[in-house]
Amino acid sequence: MSEEKQLEGKVTVVTGGGRGIGAAIALACAKEGARLALVARTTEQLDEVAKLVDEAGADVTVLTTDVTDRLQTEAMAQAVRDYFGRIDILFNNAGGGMEKNLVAESDPDLWVQDVTLNLTSAYLVTHALLPLMIESGGGKIINTGSGMGHSSGAKSSAYHVGKAGMWMFTRCLADEVWEHGITVNELIPGPVATHLTEDR
């Protein structure tokens, strides 16, 4: 008799699912029986991860989306509804750090893009998918945070600020949705060897 998989049939959406932590999350969920929607901007990367998920025996769909764009995010949420009809788990994992300079030497456009990617994207994705999760009878939202969001430091202020906002967004959202059977938690993986940390 085969061992029961912990996420058997659970519809799971992973943003930033084309590489790094997001890809690892997706594959781990697939091995536990989840059905996956992989979300990121780069189709080629998503397709590579989707192949691994498929080889693990999981149902998977690829949704190329810029999660900092409201209209694209809303279209992604509709695609999840159309394909799966429900959602059980949301990993708000998309993020990154482009502006690493001191504030006085930073590029304002890059700084705003950083905060948008690390914070606003999680809001947009959650806002778009939350109605479906409520209709589905509850679920779990997991936001990928960072220790840098809980401490200050010189340089990379945009990343610090974006992840600090993610931490507070997690707490506020948890206070709002518990009555719908939805839990909201922040995942702080610690230092991870990915493309984002190659120069650190």
Catalytic residue positions, numbered: 159
Is the CB of residue 102 less than 8 Å from the CB of residue 158? Answer: no
Three-state DSSP state, 35: strand
Which amino acid is it at 174?
A
Is the CB of residue 148 less than 8 Å from the CB of residue 163? Answer: yes
Alpha-carbon span 61 to 83, nearest angstrom: 8
Of 182, 74, 120, the closest CA to residue 63 belongs to 74
Q: Say which DSSP state 2 is in.
A: P
Is the CB of residue 38 less than 8 Å from the CB of residue 63? Answer: yes
